Structure 1
Amino acid sequence: MSLPHTRGSRPRSNDSPVRTSPRWLLAAVTSTVLALSSVGVTAAHAAPVPTGSGSFTTDQVGPAPEGCGALATDARAFITDDAPGGAVPTNDWWSSLSFKKFNCSMSEPLHAHPLSYKPSPGGMGFSYTQTPTLYGTPGGIGEFHFPYQQDLIIGVEGMNAPVVEVADWSDWTVTPSWTDGTRSMTATIGHGMPFTWFEMEGGDALISGAADLRVWLTDGERVGFSAGGADYVAFAPSGSTWTTGGGTLKSSLAGAGYLSVAVLPTAPGDTDDTRTAYADDYAPYAYAQVVGTRADYAYDEATRNVRTVYSFETVAREGTDRGTVVALYPHQSAYLAGATGDGPSAGAASDRDFVSARGAMTTLVGATSFTTDTPFTGVLPELPAIATAEGDANARLDALLDAEAADPMSIDADDTYWTGKALGRAVRIVEIADQLDRTAVRDTALAQIEETLTDWFTADPGETEQVFAYNENWGTLVGFPASYGSDKELNDHHFHYGYYILAAATLARFDPQWAEDEAYGAMVDELIADANGFDRDDTRYPYMRDFDIYAGHDWASGHGSFVNGNNQESSSEGQNFANGLIQWGLATGDTETRDAGIYLYATQSAAIQQYWFDEAGAMPDGFGHSTVGMIWGSGGAYATWFSAEAEMIQGINTLPITGGHLYLGLRPDDVVENFDEMVTVNRGNPTVWQDILWSYLALGDGDRALAELDGDREYPAEEGESRAHTYHWIANLATLGTLDTTVTADHPNAAVFVKDGARTYTAANVTGEALRVTFSDGTVLDVAAGQTAATGAHTFTGGGAPSGTEDPGTPTEPPAPAATVLHLGADGFTTTPGTGVGEIGARVGADAVGDASTGYVVTAENLTGRFGGLRTSFDLGIDAGEGVGNGTRARVSYDLEGDGEWDRVETYGYFATDPLVGFERYTSTNRPIETADGTLGNMDGGSIKLEIWNVLGMSPSTVDFATSTLRVPFGELRVDDGTDPGDGTDPGDGTDPGDGTDPGDGTDPGDGTDPGDGTDPGDGTDPGDGTDPGTDPGDGTDPGDGTEPGDGTDPGTTPGDGTDPGTGTGTTPGAGSGTGTGTTPVSTTPGGSLAVTGVTAPWGVALGAALAAALGGLLLVTRRSTLRPGR
């Protein structure tokens, strides 16, 4: 009997995968639904919280998160008072410490890798399990685990703490805390950390081992021992001693109260000399206590890599060495780009790996940080209709689209998950209908999407369904009706919300106004912030809730209270969330969101290939599978929460099928092998989810997948799929071939396919402007606004320009710029990218404050410009070289009237640089405004100041002139010298002062205000042939070719287009000189300059693309912003 993947069939909160009959499952789900339906809702209602046109409620409209003790009303019930503020993290490997669900005093085992831990009233238990345990049937339904098997326990002698709490956390560490009123202890543990650090008070340190505890090293404060088949070494403070006996080790720690213990990468068959050698290697780092960890990422468009720097903050309790021992997961070591370190080993790789449930862990000794360059292999909104745009294939697809025309969403859903599935179904239909010019079908689907999203994104007073509610206690946004524990256990938010975000991104292409922050875009951002928010300063939600930064993938359970740790089943729905961020960022011009999505996507792609699809062959012998349906902290399972069917066990990690899931085809041969494995386990071809599995197969063998589809056209579609999309996907992959990752592109929405050695290059443009995509082999693909295109072995163009984006036509005059882009140079602001670097001194003064005067500082004065209503933005290339721990801050100040008082001061969050040579990007998006004082308006004779200085670290930095820019929110920016700007703006109504500053363009009224020097005929009859001896009327007819005498006879009435030398002496493009009064807006001649404090910075203002080209690029680039307002 098969269990369809239907609503209500996926409880994810049980403590083990389901291996019972589907009939039992359905009964259990029915009882759950009945129980939920009986939950009462209070009648008191708070006013909805507006977010543009959208809103959410703060009413508790359904079940709240629940657990032990006071958790229902106090999420910090098991958090110490001195722990970090803000929202409490959930969905982590250590969540059962704080989100206690079953063990209300301690926690479930914490699988950190290479070690696992389990708190008890007497201290912290350790387990380094090196041999897996297999359950179930090899090659059938089964699991493998490296279970917690206690080797030893470390605590304070006599301690009997009634509860363990959480005192601290960072990106991949946590610090549990014990106290019984007399004795207390903390232990800092983390992913990839062989060392554990303890702080103890009230008694001696006590290590209690298994019955086989054996000491093989005693060396003063250091003791090495074996217990439970693993080898450890404990490092007490200098002057300490250890006493041994009865299976225990004890030390007073010389009264210092700290201790570190390391597990060694040795095996039971090693000699004591080998154990001692590794203990010696680790010894220099025993006193460098890890007090914080952090990962910083950046996407490099040119290389299409995501560079992630994993840093360890340490405190040297003794000595000066600051490195530590680090174990890397396979997805990290596969793309290791380098490491920094300290001490004798200085981050060098060890010759021994640690064993873990994820495979061998490469070990770096003495590392302070390490860096990975993980490839981003590209996504698409949808495959191009290479095969289905014409002929019989087109007719077949048209008929399938006709069947969807009336109701593209199809699913009658009310909860967040199944509404999301329905949205996802409609999005696929939008994409293919748009490519094929089936606008009626497309627009019906878009209307359904907009109606559904708008309903969910709007909270009316007292509304309890199709509404999002913010729970301040837990720092979470929950959609109601909820499902699969998304409310009471905070499960699966990334699974659910990814569908909404991707649907919103699709809608944004066709209705950009809907996606504005002032409309419904802000609600999309709320969903992102809840599930995997990337703003570290947002205290309303935890940073990266569902994503395990070090493990490289999401966790599904909010509390993780299972003996095998946390778990995740549908890795592909996690990737759906990441792709949602990419598409939302691209559609709305939000680069920060795009890059966060790319970081999640690339990192998870690497992890999924390793841990779900066994790329390195690390799954244990005897397990009988090269793929799993879910992973656990301690291992993996060929099983799911909701079905024992092979189709669903494997299919759950391939749905939904979208252009954002091309990573599934990174290893085409593996795709075919996995499909065949499913057929073997199933004892035949799939009988459910055929469309999902055939679509997956198409990424490895499109022709075979198409043959399977053609052989069973009446298959039952999976609820989130349509027959139209399945045919489109498979038929086009049969033509395109498989993913070719040897060629990359400089745009995220691009991919290359190869079949029979011939490549097809594809790209999609989700914006309203033309796009040029360049591939790494030199191929160039131009994609019109709103279209998908292909070139190479196959060509294609399809899709309509985004509706709601009107054709502006050809303007008779270039639009006035609303912002001005300034480049940086050795002498200040420049018109074009500079060369060289600017020096930023080492931090002086207090941390996080510093002294701005030690940095790169430039002030431009006497400026006039129109405030365009936009925000300041910058993109700076910063390099600290090999300097460790540097942080660089930027500040932009505006004096609007030149009175010496700064009317607006914007101070931005500091940017922590890595200790690797090479420029990193410090932008106003990755480090937004931290404080802002004052307001902006039009500038009249004012000043702009940029300061870049170090606020952390002891090393100097540099700023790259070639790539660094500052965009200020002023159009028509110019030097204010008291004269008419010379740009044709003099109204000609008699108000021109008659001082020689009239532009001479025919607007002078001839009423006596003309300078009266007899030189202007006032009739525009100057021939403009270079023969005018200095009486050029200034109407643009002076050729600027050097024939103007430049002898000082020009009265200063040239048009201000850059051909006049301006005041003082200088050389025009025609190499003349002159001393006229100069009415140019800003001199753009070589040698023209802008007055700045202490330096001279050449620059100018663009008057249009043609003029800029004519002047050889001397003008400063200005443009209207393409960013969404408020982002």
Structure 2
Amino acid sequence: MHAALTPRFRGRPFAVGALAVAVIAGALTFLALPNAEAATLGSGSYATTQPAGTTGPTGCGSIATNPRQYLTANAPAGAVPTNDWWSSLLFKRTDCNYALPLEAHPMAFQPSAGGLGVSYTTEASISGTATGVGEYHFPYTTEFTLGVTGLNAPNTLVDGWTDWTVTPSWSDGTRTLKTTIGHGLPFVYAQTSGGNAQLSFGGAPSVWTNSGNRVGFTVRGHDYMAYAPTGATWTVSGNAITSTLAGKNYFSVALLPTTTSTSAADRTSLANTYGQYAHNHVTGTRVAWTYNQAASTVSATYTLTTTAREGTGSGTVVALYPHQWKTLSGSSTIAQTYVSPRGQMKVITGTGAFTTATPFQGVLPEVPAVADSAGADLSTLGGYLDQVATGDPLAAFGNDTYWTGKGLGRAARAAEIADQLGRTAQRDSLLSAIRTRLTDWFTAGSGETERLFVYNQAWGTLIGYPASYGSDQELNDHHFHYGYYIAAAATLAKFDRAWAATSAYGGMVNLLIRDANNPDRADSMFPFLRDFDIYAGHDWASGHGSFGAGNNQESSSEGMNFANALIQWGIATGNTAVRDAGLYIYSTQAQAIQEYWFDSSNQNFPATFAHNEVGMVWGDGGAYATWFSAEPEMIQGINMLPITGGSNYLGYRPSYIATNYNEMTTNNGGPPTVWQDVLWSFQALGNGDTALANFRANSGYTPEEGESKAHTFHWIRNLAALGTVDTSVTANTPLYAVYTKNGVRTYAATNLTSAPLTVTFSDGRTLTVAAGKTATTGAFTWSGGNGSSNPPTSQPPTSTSPSPSRSPSPSRSPSPSRSPSSSPSSSPPPPAGSNTFYLRSGPALSTSAGSAATTQTVTAANGNYDGTPHNPVTYQACGITGSVNGGTTQLTLHVDAGSTVGQGIEARVSYDFTGSGTYGRVETYRYFATDPVPGTEQYTQAVGLASSSGTLAAMSGGCVKLEVWNAIGNAPTTVRIDASAANGNQSAVTIPYTV
């Protein structure tokens, strides 16, 4: 760890044995509530007075009960913010007068008695080893102090704050100073009284220009320009530069951008550009986000309000972090750069606002099940599920908020899997355990001895007791802990809407959301977005941030678990504001993680830093380390867990996954020996087959405490079939995912509403999802990833669990969007005489497959014949006797439109129960929009029914007829027929009969 830091231990024990000790210790903590009062919220309640034997936030002096003692009278009313880059100014713990370094970027600051110390460090300090713990920091070093002549303030207070700025304030009774500093601001804005403006240095300053109201100086190779009011001048004397400000009370100092030239002309040009905005002081910053569902894009507008101290100018200069300038929307010109601990910051000038547009790639309640319905692996998965669902799934976890959350998360993942497998009894048992535990935590009634939440009005925060890892005294990690509760509540809400109602326990879930990251500015109970740093694009874990390296965050993935939980809960309960806040945090932080924890584009870490990822991001750098372990598996794994249906963001850049995983094995001296499940799950997002092979070869491993073998096997096995996350395709619903393997796409979507939903993907593919279900495209043949193959399945595309639950089917197969005929499937067909009929020459349907694949031409539509057969190719089989088996028609047509555009092929299946020529059941499917890329695509029943009539009945010498025609388009298409098992890509119809 950084030598100057006092570690804020928040993390996990070193080993499973240590967990047992920690859990037992936690279980022995009991809280007496003889003096606690409770406030009701729907059916739930929370305490409003501190229970005996517990502690709230602590720090210097009487801060525990009065955090506003470090605010001026000008500071906003309401809850005080915590967990920010500047929190040590207000939440004073280690420096009771001023603050520890405030990492704003591009500059850093540290208050002192004489004013505001200013630093711009451009060379990284790197320590540690290439294969062990290592860190990089851009440490704070005072280059000059901005103040007032003679200022000797006993402390620094906070005069105000906005979304990403803060205004520190000094007063010694005679002289005053206020400065406004913030993320992305290359200016320090100052207001003074009682003395001259002063810039003081450790030696004689190096001044390169002093003309009129401007003075330019260089410290450690960094150029600054100070701007006094019009008519003022600067005086250079000894170790200081001063100005009377011509009797006015404002000035500003700008850090000029990094340039490749140090010529006077270049410096002067930059100084003139910045000078246009020097007296437009930034007095407000504000973010607003919107979700464009049709485009699956989250736009965030960052507005900077300026006040003209002289003249009538507007606009300012702002530097953007990599996650911002890479998603910048519009035509802003970026010409200059700064060095920062987050990589290169790029400058836009003259703006009062900028907007980022970040694609949202979707989340799911869980990875879709695409396994075979009767194979050995399904039995294995069932056995693993039995281990989780037997008895109390929370029994082995402690009572504190973090470990309770881990237990709830583990149970919720298992409940989702049980639902997919149709194991409703196990699902309901797991949900019952979740309901019982959440209800316990959400009730602070008389006689309660443990598990409750307490609202601390002085701090505007909700603390759960028993607390852990400083969640009480330091307000650490609330988003980490509460994210698990909210995610479990979201799973429960899909099955028990009454429990999740605001009038029942949903209000308590919303209270946790409001505490950790409140999206409502008008809510005075809690600060706006407590844990999320709006401009930096990610959360901060420490409530006070009192470290020499600034604030920090270790487990970015647990922050993403919180964001995903907001999306899932918001959708499940119809709370659009919560959903959209989750979408903003999720999409923004996903981008930030790729840049600052992973540096997956290899642009942001210092060139000499030997690691490809960090376990912790600090205000002034990053560390290949954790608070709790030096194990490479844990350093890297802590930014992967928990693995959920919201973890697909880890796979946005599949090539990086191998880089990350390979470094872990190198640093570990071999494959992982702890947290294997977390690391394999991460690996599966880049190479599911390899991850599955690793699982199979080492299935006796010990699961990470919040994981289960059922969930890990389910995740890895299905990703081995699905492939990698396809970020080139989006959808017009938040609950979706697209995967690709060997050029084949699988589309998945979840519908939590009470009506059918048609999801449209950006490539034109549509997927109809029944109410309360999850669907995937087509009928996928799953290969076991270790050289074995499994027989194909012919399952319906959606599951059959009762609404509003998600899909409980044991086998959902993703279907290829395009499968070139040169890459046939190796799976054998169903046996002859079964209920599967192959398309054969004739045309005809036959239970016997062909021997040499060919194609059938379907004539051009040359019009619109959607829903009405026009020049169809008709395939028929008769003499069928059998009973209805309760399934649905399964259709797989391998079709190709070549390179033509605007084509759509359509199919109709009709049933004649007695061979009389009368069709008692007719099913017309929506047409399938083919792509203009040569190679077959799968047209399946997953497109959904356009219309249907009649009801299936037993067949006695009956017939099934398939009609295929072009509904739209001016060119012919083809259907692949007569294919053998060896040829692969067999077009077939499976009828829902036992014959």
TM-score of the superposition, structure 2-length normalised?
Answer: 0.76
d(CA) in 1 for partners of 2:408, 2:20? 24
- Equivalent residue for 2:101, pick from 87, 97, 109: 109
CA contact (8 A) 2:168 2:179 kept: yes
- Equivalent residue for 2:430, pick from 445, 457, 461: 445
CA contact (8 A) 1:230 1:268 kept: no
Q: Which amino acid aligns with 2:802?
A: A
Residue 324 (structure 1) aligns with: 316
- Equivalent residue for 1:572, pick from 527, 551, 557: 557
Residue 57 (structure 1) aligns with: 47
* 1:263 maps to 2:255: yes
CA contact (8 A) 2:127 2:134 kept: yes
d(CA) in 2 for partners of 1:78, 1:481? 29
- Equivalent residue for 2:755, pick from 765, 769, 772: 769
Deviation at 1:275, TM superposition (A): 1.6
Q: Which amino acid aligns with 2:292?
A: D
Deviation at 1:211, TM superposition (A): 2.5
d(CA) in 2 for partners of 1:561, 1:58? 28
d(CA) in 1 for partners of 2:458, 2:764? 54
* 1:707 maps to 2:697: no
- Equivalent residue for 1:637, pick from 623, 630, 633: 623
Deviation at 1:281, TM superposition (A): 1.1
d(CA) in 2 for partners of 1:600, 1:388? 36
Change in 2 beyond 3 A, CA 1:270/1:390: farther
CA-to-partner distance for each residue in 1:540-568, whole Å, 9 max, x for gaps? 00000000000000000000000000000
Deviation at 1:273, TM superposition (A): 2.5
CA-to-partner distance for each residue in 1:902-923, whole Å, 9 max, x for gaps? xxxxxxxxxxxxxxxxxxxxxx
Deviation at 1:391, TM superposition (A): 1.8
- Equivalent residue for 1:45, pick from 36, 40, 44: 36
Q: Which amino acid aligns with 1:750?
A: Y
Q: Which amino acid aligns with 2:769?
A: V
Change in 2 beyond 3 A, CA 1:435/1:237: same
CA-to-partner distance for each residue in 1:461-498, whole Å, 9 max, x for gaps? 25341100000000000110000000000000000000
d(CA) in 2 for partners of 1:266, 1:296? 30
CA-to-partner distance for each residue in 1:250-298, whole Å, 9 max, x for gaps? 0011111101000011359622332222111101000101000001000
Greater relative contact order (Cα < 8 A, sep 6+): 2
Residue 586 (structure 2) aligns with: 601
Q: Secondary structure at the match of 1:518?
A: helix
Deviation at 1:20, TM superposition (A): 15
- Equivalent residue for 2:185, pick from 180, 188, 193: 193
Change in 2 beyond 3 A, CA 1:249/1:33: farther
Change in 2 beyond 3 A, CA 1:29/1:786: closer
**Which of the two has higher C-alpha Rg?**
1
- Equivalent residue for 2:354, pick from 343, 367, 370: 370
- Equivalent residue for 2:509, pick from 524, 535, 538: 524
Residue 503 (structure 1) aligns with: 488
Residue 176 (structure 2) aligns with: 184
Residue 885 (structure 2) aligns with: none
Q: Which amino acid aligns with 1:461?
A: S
Name structure 2 gaps, 5 residues minimum: 781-795, 807-995
Deviation at 1:667, TM superposition (A): 0.5
1:778-797 equivalent positions in 2, closer than 5 A: 778-792=764-778, 794=780, 796-797=797-798
d(CA) in 1 for partners of 2:731, 2:677? 30
Deviation at 1:248, TM superposition (A): 1.1
CA-to-partner distance for each residue in 1:817-852, whole Å, 9 max, x for gaps? xxxxxxxxxxxxxxxxxxxxxxxxxxxxxxxxxxxx
Q: Secondary structure at the match of 2:500?
A: coil
CA contact (8 A) 2:26 2:398 kept: no
Deviation at 1:723, TM superposition (A): 0.5
Root-mean-square deviation (CA), in Å?
A: 2.6
d(CA) in 1 for partners of 2:773, 2:607? 48
Q: Secondary structure at the match of 2:503?
A: coil
Q: Which amino acid aligns with 1:206?
A: Q
- Equivalent residue for 1:398, pick from 339, 361, 382: 382
d(CA) in 1 for partners of 2:802, 2:282? 53
Residue 533 (structure 2) aligns with: 548
Q: Which amino acid aligns with 2:483?
A: G
CA contact (8 A) 1:172 1:548 kept: yes
Residue 272 (structure 1) aligns with: 264
Q: Secondary structure at the match of 2:504?
A: coil
d(CA) in 2 for partners of 1:106, 1:37? 39
Q: Secondary structure at the match of 2:737?
A: strand
d(CA) in 1 for partners of 2:20, 2:161? 36
d(CA) in 2 for partners of 1:757, 1:666? 16
d(CA) in 1 for partners of 2:591, 2:101? 26
d(CA) in 2 for partners of 1:613, 1:246? 46
d(CA) in 2 for partners of 1:445, 1:24? 26
Change in 2 beyond 3 A, CA 1:27/1:769: closer
d(CA) in 1 for partners of 2:23, 2:432? 34
CA-to-partner distance for each residue in 1:748-792, whole Å, 9 max, x for gaps? 110110000000101112233322211111111111122211005
- Equivalent residue for 2:76, pick from 69, 81, 84: 84
Alignment: residue pair count: 786
CA contact (8 A) 1:414 1:466 kept: yes
Residue 169 (structure 1) aligns with: 161
d(CA) in 2 for partners of 1:444, 1:369? 51
* 1:142 maps to 2:142: no
CA-to-partner distance for each residue in 1:636-660, whole Å, 9 max, x for gaps? 0000000000000000000000011
- Equivalent residue for 1:559, pick from 532, 538, 544: 544
Change in 2 beyond 3 A, CA 1:316/1:42: same
CA contact (8 A) 1:18 1:644 kept: no
d(CA) in 1 for partners of 2:766, 2:29? 60
Q: Secondary structure at the match of 1:798?
A: coil
Q: Secondary structure at the match of 1:560?
A: coil
Q: Which amino acid aligns with 1:589?
A: G
CA contact (8 A) 1:511 1:802 kept: no
Q: Which amino acid aligns with 1:244?
A: V
Q: Secondary structure at the match of 2:487?
A: helix
* 1:492 maps to 2:477: yes
Deviation at 1:78, TM superposition (A): 0.4
Deviation at 1:303, TM superposition (A): 0.9
Q: Which amino acid aligns with 1:119?
A: P
Residue 1091 (structure 1) aligns with: none
Residue 798 (structure 1) aligns with: 799
Deviation at 1:673, TM superposition (A): 1.1
Residue 367 (structure 2) aligns with: 383
* 1:478 maps to 2:469: no
**Identity rate of aligned residues, in percent?**
55
Residue 681 (structure 2) aligns with: 695
d(CA) in 1 for partners of 2:121, 2:212? 29
d(CA) in 2 for partners of 1:666, 1:84? 40
- Equivalent residue for 2:340, pick from 356, 378, 385: 356
d(CA) in 2 for partners of 1:205, 1:773? 62
d(CA) in 1 for partners of 2:801, 2:261? 67
* 1:336 maps to 2:328: yes
CA contact (8 A) 2:204 2:238 kept: no
CA contact (8 A) 2:23 2:399 kept: no
- Equivalent residue for 1:67, pick from 32, 45, 59: 59
* 1:126 maps to 2:118: yes
CA-to-partner distance for each residue in 1:791-811, whole Å, 9 max, x for gaps? 057374235124699xxxxxx
CA contact (8 A) 1:206 1:249 kept: yes
1:614-625 equivalent positions in 2, closer than 5 A: 614-617=599-602, 618-625=604-611
- Equivalent residue for 1:656, pick from 639, 642, 646: 642
d(CA) in 1 for partners of 2:55, 2:398? 19
Q: Which amino acid aligns with 2:740?
A: V
Residue 628 (structure 1) aligns with: 614
Change in 2 beyond 3 A, CA 1:263/1:26: farther
* 1:230 maps to 2:191: no
CA-to-partner distance for each residue in 1:91-126, whole Å, 9 max, x for gaps? 000000000010000000000000000000000000
1:3-14 equivalent positions in 2, closer than 5 A: none
Q: Which amino acid aligns with 2:765?
A: T
Residue 1107 (structure 1) aligns with: none
Q: Which amino acid aligns with 2:350?
A: G
CA-to-partner distance for each residue in 1:912-939, whole Å, 9 max, x for gaps? xxxxxxxxxxxxxxxxxxxxxxxxxxxx
d(CA) in 1 for partners of 2:234, 2:277? 20
